Structure 1
Amino acid sequence: MIELDELDRKVLRALQEDATLSAGALGRRIGLSQPATWRRIKRLQEEGAIKGRRLMLDREKLGFGVTVFLGVKLATKGRVSLEDFERAVSAIPEVQTVEHILGLYDYRLRVVARDIPDFERVLRRRVMTLPGVGNVEANVLLSEERRPGPI
């Protein structure tokens, strides 16, 4: 675990809100000079607290109006390795996240599609043909009220 002081936490909170902030703008926001802010960002990156910066896209405006969470239970864990399944499912562009979970299902997938018929195509032609897939349960996202926020 990385030791964080209050200024480190302020840097991380501000970058989670807007990862495009320059070191100067970020420093003004939290009360540090640009060089001191840059050094903190660099240290947080080197220590692994900051893994990268991402661009958030509006899926709906880009034509992907349906998000579905799939619970996937593998049929034959002994005959198909988890790595083989993960590699194959990660190659499907519509699959946004792959989470190995404990519980009723082995994996939870976040899948985006243009509409329900497009999702059905992805499910039938791509997901259901993956190695080792057994039971699948789909849950369509109706709305998303809370986005991931600061730690």
Structure 2
Amino acid sequence: MLDDLDRRILRQWQADPTLTPAELAERCGMTPARVQRRQMRMMDTGAVKGVRAVIDWQALGYSVEVSLRVTLDKTVAVAFDEFLKAAHDVPEVVEIQTFLGRVDVRLSVIAQDMGHYQRVYRTRVLTLPHIADIEPLMHVARIKSDERLPI
């Protein structure tokens, strides 16, 4: 379980993941060794899964993002597993979410432009197994994208 000191560390760490243990310690009013021990414990217990770089797709030339809401053929027992395995292998699929309800899966697909998206959609997405229905939703704007927790 996290205590108040862990939460203090996480608040600062979320705000700036590039901080060194010494910088975190200064901001949290702790020693660097204590901060580092707590960071390691939080990573070992799975409270912190890792620290990563967030890449701006548009800066790399990907200007199109489409959400695809997919309903699978539920008459096939292995449909879900086979679809997820195949979708995972499509490089342009950057996120896969599963749901309970009418929609089974949501894929987030990025592409350089509409021509690239059409090629990905026709040759890679529509060939995924066990699709019963698919509804594309074109992203217009991302209003909020924040993985920080209110700690």
TM-score (structure 1 length as normaliser): 0.92
Deviation at 1:75, TM superposition (A): 2.2
CA contact (8 A) 1:77 1:132 kept: no
1:24 aligned partner, one-letter code:
A
Does residue 127 of structure 2 align to residue 139 of structure 1?
Answer: no
Deviation at 1:76, TM superposition (A): 4.2
Deviation at 1:114, TM superposition (A): 0.7
What is the aligned partner in structure 2 of residue 16 from structure 1? 14
What is the aligned partner in structure 2 of residue 57 from structure 1? 55
CA contact (8 A) 1:80 1:132 kept: no
Detail structure 1 runs of 4+ shifted over 4 Å in the superposition: none
| Percent identity for Structure 1 against Structure 2 | 36
Unaligned runs of 5+ residues in structure 1 are none
Once residues 142 and 125 of structure 2 are traced to their aligned partners in structure 1, the CA distance between those partners, rounded to angstroms, is: 24
Q: How many residues align?
A: 149
**1:47-92 deviation digits (Å, cap 9, x = unpaired):** 1001111101111010001111110111245253322211110111
Unaligned runs of 5+ residues in structure 2 are none
Deviation at 1:19, TM superposition (A): 1.9
1:70 aligned partner, one-letter code:
L
Q: CA-atom RMSD, angstroms?
A: 1.4
Match of 1:96 among 86, 91, 94: 94
- The 3-state SS of whatever aligns with 1:136 is strand
TM-score (structure 2 length as normaliser): 0.92
1:107 aligned partner, one-letter code:
V
1:114 aligned partner, one-letter code:
Q
CA 1:131–1:116: 2 relative to 1, 3 Å = same
